[in-house]
Structure 1
């Protein structure tokens, strides 16, 4: 990890009472998932299957696709590194500002990459394009129609669509079904955000069977551990019933944004997700983060290290009503 990103709770000394820096669902693991993991703890005594392919059939059934279209990974991040390795020494574009791991993966595997805005996409001629949808950190989205137009117009470009937060928005639908029609599409998904298991690291790739074979040839064995596999089995066997209510979460986010927007000195940015950017006027994001940790045991994301994001920004993710109020009160004090 060259630039670093996301939840840096591990770097903070002392207690954090409210963590706004992580985009995972704030209510924690859904009912039954923790118990399912604990009941399978004995599996750590044995090696897991080399590529976790017992999850393929379950995922295929869940999304009505073919099992040979899936490849499970150690979180979504392993997926990005595998894809970058497959396109090593070629040209790439990254729609920015966005998740830093795309850029890090390109650096490691020596892709000649450029950071572009979404308006530049039509003029970009590269082998690979990374698009986060919905985007992290700002919650902006591409519609299925917009993306399919790109897939058709640029058949020689492979598009990596990161849908890690697709279940945190009602503004768009997944483009996974399009992987049956377009060989130049690779969708990356995550189970860690929706089901609050980032410590287990479980993600997956969805693409054409031919692309999966190529990626599989580069994958290290046993990267997905036994407990992650068992968690995945439980999730896919209960996928719909384990989902949180996105509309409810987005309603909570709307209230939270309104509370923040009433504070002078803050500019709350539009977003299609419960996480969003807040621009600070004449203030330092670094200093605010330090103040909140020291004085209120609150952790936020200093967003100033997102490439192409100019100015002082923080990113916050909607938490409980009580936690949201605590942050608003702390910000009032700081401002």
Structure 2
């Protein structure tokens, strides 16, 4: 397990005023969802259902699939570990730079893995391929046509498509519907980023029913807690009402990035999401992060520990206009 991926706020002593390091939606959990979850606090005295299967029918209704095609997990990370366990001692390829939990899962379950560029997926002999779409940390996206070509051309390879940030872009749409067409496709999704509930840990797998049955046989009981289940029920019943406006968020991101591009010593990378990489041309990401914490109570993501990412980078996720403007001013002074 690697500290620093996801959010390392727990490692910081003292208060943080603005947190640019986390990719969850910055306006926070919808009040209606908080109120709903709070109604069930007393029920933590009882066990939840062993596999959170009451969420399956709600998800099936939303995506117009079969309920047997879903498996809910303790965040998306549990899903990756279940998949790696299913493919233990086999070979894997990871499209990098990307989220490090794919690597960690492969290490724990003894998969011989390689880090590759997307263009090289067509040539890999790996039995399992991880692709994050949109990708973390750079916000790149892969088109449905590109992915479907791979599913068709490599029927003996299982593709894991991580759609945890699919709602943070309008450049692509989910390919959940393709799980009814390809049995070599497993999609991992998260409810924690969009609805700002990472402390509850709630993700899910979507795949062919036979794949889900195999993964369910490996899953420990009660991994999804009762409050997470109640949150999931409310979200799936009210998804469109609770979901944020991605176009509005991306407009805010465009303004923020434009301000950053005017700063000397920083190069803002292209991205299709509200999070993006900023390269430091002359200074250290580690030093900048420490300075921002100690002097301004601002937290950014030091992205130098993403494998296959060469150079000094920080990752930023758009926050409020006030927070964005404060960071811009601080960076001007630091530079």
2:19 aligned partner: 19
Which consecutive segments of 4 or more residues in structure 1 shift more than 2 A? Answer: none
How many Å separate the matches in 1 of 2:272 and 2:79?
25
Q: Post-superposition shift, 1:211?
A: 0.1
How many Å separate the matches in 1 of 2:280 and 2:162?
28
1:326 aligned partner: 326
TM-score by length of 2: 0.99
How many Å separate the matches in 2 of 1:331 and 1:64?
47
2:186 aligned partner: 186
Superposed counterparts of 1:193-212, under 5 Å: 193-212=193-212
TM-score by length of 1: 0.99
1:315 aligned partner: 315
1:55 aligned partner: 55
1:107 aligned partner: 107
Q: Give CA-to-partner distance per residue, 1:57-103, whole Å, 9 cap, x none.
A: 00110111110000000000000000000000000000000000000
2:263 aligned with 1:263? yes
Q: Give CA-to-partner distance per residue, 1:278-332, whole Å, 9 cap, x none.
A: 0001100000000000111000000000000000000000000000001101101
Q: Which runs of 5+ in 1 are unaligned?
A: none
1:66 aligned partner: 66
Q: Report SS of the residue matched to 2:305.
A: coil
Q: Give CA-to-partner distance per residue, 1:34-55, whole Å, 9 cap, x none.
A: 0001001111010000000000
How many Å separate the matches in 2 of 1:89 and 1:332?
50
2:288 aligned partner: 288
Q: Give CA-to-partner distance per residue, 1:260-289, whole Å, 9 cap, x none.
A: 000010000000000000000110000000
2:297 aligned with 1:297? yes
How many Å separate the matches in 2 of 1:4 and 1:87?
26
Task: Say if 1:3 and 1:100, in contact at 8 Å, map to a contact too.
Answer: no
Q: Which runs of 5+ in 2 are unaligned?
A: none
Instruction: Name the Cα RMSD after superposition.
Output: 0.6
Superposed counterparts of 1:35-50, under 5 Å: 35-50=35-50
Task: Say if 1:134 and 1:142, in contact at 8 Å, map to a contact too.
Answer: yes
How many Å separate the matches in 2 of 1:120 and 1:279?
25
How many Å separate the matches in 2 of 1:209 and 1:97?
31
1:222 aligned partner: 222
Task: Say if 1:302 and 1:314, in contact at 8 Å, map to a contact too.
Answer: yes
Task: Say if 1:4 and 1:100, in contact at 8 Å, map to a contact too.
Answer: no
Compared CA separation, residues 126 and 59, structure 1 to 2 (3 A): same
Task: Say if 1:91 and 1:127, in contact at 8 Å, map to a contact too.
Answer: yes
Superposed counterparts of 1:137-216, under 5 Å: 137-216=137-216
